[in-house]
Structure 1
Amino acid sequence: MDNSKKIGLWSLVMLIFVPTFGFGNITTNAVALGPAAIPSWLIVSVLFFLPLSGIFAELASVNNGKAAGIYSWIDTGLGSKWAYIGTWSYFIANLFYLQMVFARIPVMVSWAIFGENRFNDANAYILPYIGIVLAILLTLIATTGVKKFSKLSDFGGRFTIAVTVIFIVCAIIGLLIGKPSATQFTASTVIPTFNTSYFSTFSWLLFAVAGAEVAGTYIEEVDSPKKNFPKGVILATVFVALAYVVGSIATCLVASPEVIQKAGLKDASYVVYKLLAENYGLSGKIVIQIYALILTITSVAAYVVWMESPIRAMFSEVPDGTFPKFLTKKTEDGVLKNALWTQCAVVIVLILVPAVGLKSIDNFFRLLTDLSSLSLIIPYAILAIAYVSFRKRGKSAPFTMFKSNTTAYIMAGIVFALSVAGFFGAGLDYVLGAESTKDAVVSIIKTYGGPIILIFIGYLITLASKATSKENTDIPA
């Protein structure tokens, strides 16, 4: 590739930063942890995000010429069987994420139209059914091709960064000109208490820094990769950590922990912007309506792209014959229509399950966040093991993030340990808060059972495909 067309250092940093950072992650964890989220972002960025990005980079460089996604990375260390399980787990996480997305859109629209969230506990049961309609509608749009939405999606990413910067700057300026902080920062409130309540939402922090895997696929397109890629990974880690830490501080300056917790997962990101506007004498309602309207338009475009992208990666990276031909069939434009509609059908089923007995809208969003988080952690844990296996074989990679095997093993071990802690921690509150053994068992099945059952179903699909296909002998067994 011509050097003039290669990805420079700062473009690489933004390539990692944009899909990783999200203001909603700040308020989500502020609801759960309060000011204790501030040092938690540092812990997760340094001990999880940085080594994970390094693992992505090293395994991606080994798979030059391939799609260089999670399948090929795990395959390098553990073989096709675990590569399939890891990739399918990643796909399952996307299913739960889409379920959460379809529940968020009506809330965005409500804030854009009314300047408030009209979906409360009394009418929470409506959200899943609106989500089903959105799943069908957006899938229909995705089957027409996503290129037309990519530019609007890119604008959405830049818009999110811009309004976040504005929020942080205005919050800090407010403090400097004499507006009192809404939160009292003390050692007791800022230092995390490492108890079961903390670990019950720890997976949310890990989920918030997901997205760095995108950069690994571009390592061969980076200008001077041996020099710029490690710099880019480190700089991106610093920027992500700073953005989450400073953003969390700004959020605490504007809204007290009590206000944020009262707003809940569904509304916290809107409430803090509304309060900031009112602090400067502006109409909080009008400001938040404008913010929510633009966010709705750009988010819908981003979600359409996101519905199609994991599908394309999932069915293009695994060996031929892994899935039934029905799912891998493409249109002339390369769109996997059958796979998209199958995904839609599964998401609709997932939407309907928690709709039964839905009483609290905030509990609904909490469950969806937990399911998305713990599902995504599974492929990361498998990837850490694959990386250790790869290094133990003494194979060399064109790009090496961790020079010594000892350092590599320690970093992979930390990623694996944190992934396990996040996975099992995600359901702690449900189990420990159960009023009876029966309720605890139901909670365990609901929280952990869904992802595990779907992963098992995926494995059965590939076994069935193997039994009926003779085209490929590398199908997982």
Structure 2
Amino acid sequence: MSNAKKLGLWTLVMLTFVPTFGFGNITSNAVYLGPAAIPSWLLVSLLYFFPLSIMIAELASANQDKEGGLYTWIESVIGPKWAFIGTWSYFVANLFYLQMVFARIPVATSWAIFGENRFNDQNAHLLPYLSIVIAIILTYIATTGVKKFSKLSDFGGKFTLAATVIFIVFAIVGYFAGTPSATQFTAENTIPKFDSAYFATFSWLLFAVAGAEVAGTYIKDVDNPEKTFPKAVLIATVFIAIAYVIGSVAVSLVASPEVLEQENLKNAGYVVYKILAENWGINGKIVVQIYALIFTITSIAAYIVWIESPIRAMFAEVPEGTFPKFLTEKSEDGTLKKALWAQCALVVVMIAVPLLGLNSIDAFFKLLADLSALSLVIPYVVLIGAYIVFKLRGTKAPFTFFKSNAGAMTFAWIAMVLSIAGFFGAGLDYVLGSETTKDAVVSIVKTYGGPIILILLGYVLTYFTKLANKKSGDIHLNS
């Protein structure tokens, strides 16, 4: 394959930026944390996001001839068992994420067409049906291959970045031009209060910035991957970190936490654009419609990446016989079409079951969703552990950011501690929200034990797959 057909630097930057950055994360945490969100995003970026992205860049450069992303980075250092645990947890968490997010596209489209959310009340019942249709359409696009849908990410990502920069510039210039800040900044509300409520919210911030790993599954499609992939990851990381930190300042200048709290959080990202436009004497409805159109395109691109990338990570490089053959069959360009449609079918079932009134099955899926809540944390703990072993062995990668192992190990252990603390902190909301001791115990088991239970379910699936293969004579298992 010629270099002309491969992914370039900026396409890869946008493939990382689009599924990772979300303007809604800024507005929602402006409500949860107020001005304290600003130093919180800064701490998360410096102590977690940058180190994690650097680890990904180094491990990816050492495995540039493989397309498994997260799986191959872990497997190459600490073996297939840990690679399976990390990637299966990642896949499961993403599966339940997909179930929830497809409804956001009709809402964004409504803002783009009408300048308002028409799915708030009487039309809300349409969202599950629209979500099913969207899941099928986006899965089909994902099956066409990364070189095609990456163009959508490239287009949408650049416009999203531009829209975010314009918002920040106009908010800050407006403030210095005389528009008073909508939020009063004081030492009391800007310096985080390190209590349980803050710790729970801060923990989720850690995983809001994670996402640099999604582009790793496309490294074989990258032009000059040894240099291009690490550079793209670091550029995207800088863009995302700056957007979150300075974007939080800009949102605070435009709208107070109290104003945003009055809006449904899914509407807050649009409302701040409307307020900013009106502060400048511009038609707020038109500005919101333009932003919503950009956001719709970007959301479509982001969800396609989240549909496709975890499938590659889970099924592209696993040993033969781990899963049924149809899940690991690849087309010529490496796309796992049958696995994508299997995922789509499962997501559609999860969306459709509540509509059918099948209470027992619905309760089962809700239980699985509860069990998967913190599964997203496991892959990063395992990945950081793999990187620490990678450095302890003195392995040399084509791309190395840290000049000394001491610096690399320091940041790796900080990220590891934050990941583990984040695991327990992110579950506090579920536990503290319990009304009785019994409810608290059940929440603890489901929240903190859930990822372990789902990992065991993954092993059960592989066990029966290997057993079936052994009986059919497709492969010979080693004891």
TM-score tier by shorter-chain length is: 0.7 to 0.9
2:440 is the alignment partner of 1:440:
yes
Q: Is the 8 A contact 2:6 2:223 kept in 1?
A: yes
The CA distance in 1 between the partners of 2:298 and 2:55, in whole Å, is 31
Question: Which residue in the other structure is 2:360 paired with?
Answer: none
TM-score (norm 1): 0.84
* Structure-2 change in CA distance of 1:390 and 1:330 (3 Å): closer
1:325 is the counterpart of 2:353: no
Alignment map for 1:298-337 (pairs within 5 Å): 298-330=298-330, 335-337=335-337
User: Structure 1: where are the runs of 5+ without partners?
Assistant: 358-366
Counterpart-to-counterpart distance in 2, 1:113 and 1:371 = 38
Larger mean Cα displacement after TM superposition, 457-466 or 211-220: 211-220
Q: What residue is the counterpart of 1:388 in the other structure? A: 388
TM-superposed CA distance for 1:229, in Å, is 8.1
Do residues 467 (structure 1) and 467 (structure 2) align?
yes
Q: How does 1:88-99 map to 2 (within 5 A)?
A: 88-99=88-99
Amino acid at match of 1:136: I
Determine the structure 1 residue equivalent to 2:269.
269
After TM superposition, give the deviation of residue 108 of structure 1 in Å.
1.2
1:205-245: CA deviation from partner (whole Å, max 9, x where unpaired): 222322222566759955984xx988876665544332211
Q: How many residues align?
A: 465
Residue 407 of structure 1 deviates from its aligned partner by: 2.9
Give the SS at the match of 2:322: coil
Separation in structure 2 between the aligned mates of residue 334 and residue 347 of structure 1, nearest angstrom: 22
Rounded Cα–Cα distance in structure 1 between residues aligned with 2:212 and 2:231 = 14
**Secondary structure in structure 1 of the residue aligned to 2:103:** helix
- Provide the rounded CA distance (Å) in 1 between the counterparts of 2:139 and 2:3: 38
Q: Which residue of 2 aligns with 1:170?
A: 170
SS in 2 for 1:317: coil
2 CA distance for matches of 1:337 and 1:260?
A: 41
Question: How many angstroms apart in 1 are the aligned matches of 2:300 and 2:12?
Answer: 25
| TM score, norm. by length of structure 2 | 0.84
Q: Which residue of 2 aligns with 1:186?
A: 186
Q: How far, CA to CA, are the matches of 2:128 and 2:2 in structure 1?
A: 49
Would the alpha carbon gap of residues 370 and 184 (structure 1) be closer, same or farther in structure 2, given more than 3 Å must change? farther
Query: Which residue number in structure 2 is paired with residue 195 of structure 1?
Result: 195
Bigger shift: residues 120-129 or 132-141: 120-129
Counterparts in 2 of 1:115-126, with a 5 A limit? 115-120=115-120
Q: Per the alignment, in what secondary structure is the counterpart of residue 281 of structure 1?
A: coil
Gaps of 5+ in 2: 358-366
Residues 183 and 253, structure 2, Cα contact 8 Å, conserved in 1: yes
The 5-angstrom pairing of residues 1-400 of structure 1 reads 17=17, 19-67=19-67, 69-120=69-120, 127-143=127-143, 147-214=147-214, 218=219, 225=227, 237-330=237-330, 335-351=335-351, 374-400=374-400
Compare 288-297 and 264-273 and name the one that shifted more. 288-297
Assess if the C-alpha contact under 8 Å between 2:371 and 2:449 holds in 1.
no
Instruction: Measure how far apart 1:310 and its partner are.
Output: 2.5
Q: Distance in 2 between matches of 1:198 and 1:355?
A: 36
The 1:81–1:326 alpha-carbon spacing in structure 2 relative to 1, beyond 3 Å, is same
The one-letter code matched in structure 2 to 1:85 is I
- For residues 320 and 172 of structure 2, what CA distance do their matches in structure 1 show? 55
Percent pairwise identity: 69
Q: In structure 1, what is the equivalent of residue 424 of structure 2?
A: 424
User: SS of 1:469's equivalent?
Assistant: helix
Match for residue 360 of structure 1? none
Residue 45 of structure 1 aligns with an amino acid whose one-letter code is: S
Indicate the residue corresponding to 1:362 in structure 2: none
Q: Is the 8 A contact 1:181 1:253 kept in 2?
A: yes
C-alpha spacing 1:326/1:18, structure 2 compared with 1 (3 Å): closer
RMSD: 3.7
Q: CA deviation at 1:329?
A: 3.0
**SS state at 1:406 partner:** helix
Measured against aligned partners, the alpha-carbon deviations of 1:141-198 in whole angstroms (never above 9, x if no partner) come to 5445565443223211111101101111111121122111100111111111111111
